Amino acid sequence: MNDPIIDSEKHEPASVRLLMKDRVLMFLNEYYFPKSKALTLIRIVTGPLMIYIGLKFLADYQDRVFAYFSIFYGIYLIVRPAVWIFFRMKSYRTVDVVIDVQNEFIFMKDDFSETKIRFEGFDEILKKRWYYIFRMPSDSRMYLPFYLFSAEQREVIDNNLTE
């Protein structure tokens, strides 16, 4: 006879959907608001500043080559994240993942792979406003929004944060 307690312990974690829009928003948040405040300032201010400098040079009839270069480079700096997303669209697609968080490890499975990583195997586990960042020794990162986790799983992850 099946023991209901044993059956419930063998449950398969539910599959959840990691949406494309969330993956793109996490990328944009990390691009414009990384750890470094100086880099944040550079990424937000440099594009418009280059356009302003180019327009100023054009208005004063100064070096037109520098002026046009400044304007086009400023436009590039502003649209660069969109260009990155456009050319890497496949890496931002919506995926179904299975995630299970235990006290000592996190288990993840998608259509192509599955992995079980102990929390001490991460170099860094950070909590942002609405997602976690798991940084591995190879300097690769996983960005996972809170909605993928139950309250109990989030508590386990919060207990393993590095900052």
The pLDDT > 90 percentage for the chain reads 63
Strands (E), 4-123: 15-18, 95-101, 105-109, 114-118
Band of the pLDDT at 159, cuts 50, 70, 90? very high
pLDDT value of position 110: 86
Nearest-angstrom CA–CA distance, 36 and 34:
5
Domain ranges of the chain: 21-90, 94-159
The beta-carbon contacts of 29-34 under 8 Å, at least 24 apart in sequence, are 29/128, 29/129, 30/133, 30/143, 31/81, 32/81
Band of the pLDDT at 10, cuts 50, 70, 90? very low
- Per-residue model confidence as pLDDT tens digits over 107-121: 999 888 888 999 999
